[in-house]
Amino acid sequence: MRARTDRLVTADELMRMPDDGVKHELVEGRLITMTHAGSLHGRLAMRLGAAVDRFVEAHALGAVFAAETGFRLARDPDTVRAPDVSFVRKERLLEEGLPDGYWPGPPDLAVEVQSPNNSVRELELKAQDYLRRGVQLVWVVFPKKRAVVVYRPDAVPASLGEHDALDGYDLLPGFRYPLARLFTVKPRS
């Protein structure tokens, strides 16, 4: 992940950028370019996203979004993030429907899966940024370690291994997902 320019960019400018085949986020007006994720990353994000989506649909809790969905987390300078998986509670869904552009505000749940180019520190800072901007629950998945770190406001991050289960807490009441199920997808050594 690297910054592309020293000039501050707005969320509107980011939305109008031509598709160059690369994922971009905007952090305090700075355009961040991210490399394409590998197949392991994509498979883990899909498995976890599908489990969350099935649970959310079955309990009519809100909406789950894929990795391409941008969330405008701040204005002036603008921050737009696109978690690998995200969820917004039903109470926060807009009466007029989903916007064509970025979601106006943070998701309630943000999931990030470590890519080969992401450092642990980088993902820790991203999770803390999500919490600071109103996200209620962050799951950071580490494929090679077969672990997930759970971040919640006013709580110490919790590290879970493949014998533990993710918990939806009050955000997704009753959601439990055994990490052994997620980590049946094995990384190449």
For the domain that residue 91 is a member of, what is the CATH number?
A: 3.90.1570.10
DSSP letter assigned to residue 36: P
Q: Is residue 5 part of a domain?
A: no
Q: Is residue 55 part of a domain?
A: yes
Output the six-digit token pair for 2.
């690297």
Beta strands in 18-84 (DSSP E): 23-27, 30-34, 62-65, 71-74, 79-81
Q: Is residue 41 part of a domain?
A: yes
The answer to pTM > 0.95 is no
- How much is the average pLDDT of 49-53? 98
Output the six-digit token pair for 46.
């899909």
Instruction: Please check the confidence at residue 69 and state whether its pLDDT lies above 70.
Output: yes
pLDDT interval class at 25 (50, 70, 90): confident
pLDDT interval class at 187 (50, 70, 90): low
Instruction: Of 168, 165, 159, 167, give the one whose Cα is nearest residue 178.
Output: 165
Supply φ then ψ for residue 186, to 5 degrees. Answer: -100, 135
The predicted-structure confidence for 116-136, as pLDDT tens digits, reads as follows: 888 999 999 999 999 999 999
- How much is the average pLDDT of 69-93? 95
Q: Which helix (H) or strand (E) holds 88?
A: strand 85-89
pLDDT of residue 140: 98
Q: Is residue 113 part of a domain?
A: yes
Query: What gap in Å lies between CA 74 and CA 26, rounded to an integer?
Result: 10
Q: Is residue 21 part of a domain?
A: no
pLDDT of residue 163: 96
Q: Is residue 177 part of a domain?
A: yes
Q: Is residue 27 part of a domain?
A: no
pLDDT interval class at 95 (50, 70, 90): confident
Instruction: Please check the confidence at residue 63 and state whether its pLDDT lies above 80.
Output: yes
**Comparing 107 with 94, which gets the higher pLDDT?**
107
The domain in which residue 174 lies consists of 37-182
pLDDT interval class at 2 (50, 70, 90): very low
Own/partner contacts of 130-134, CB < 8 Å, gap of 24 or more, are 130/73, 130/81, 130/83, 130/106, 133/73, 133/74, 133/79, 133/106, 134/73, 134/105, 134/106
Instruction: Please check the confidence at residue 1 and state whether its pLDDT lies above 60.
Output: no
Instruction: Please check the confidence at residue 4 and state whether its pLDDT lies above 70.
Output: no
Q: Which helix (H) or strand (E) holds 58?
A: helix 39-59
Range name among 15-29, 113-127, 128-142 with the lowest pLDDT average: 15-29
Q: Is residue 16 part of a domain?
A: no
If one counts the domains in the chain, the total is 1
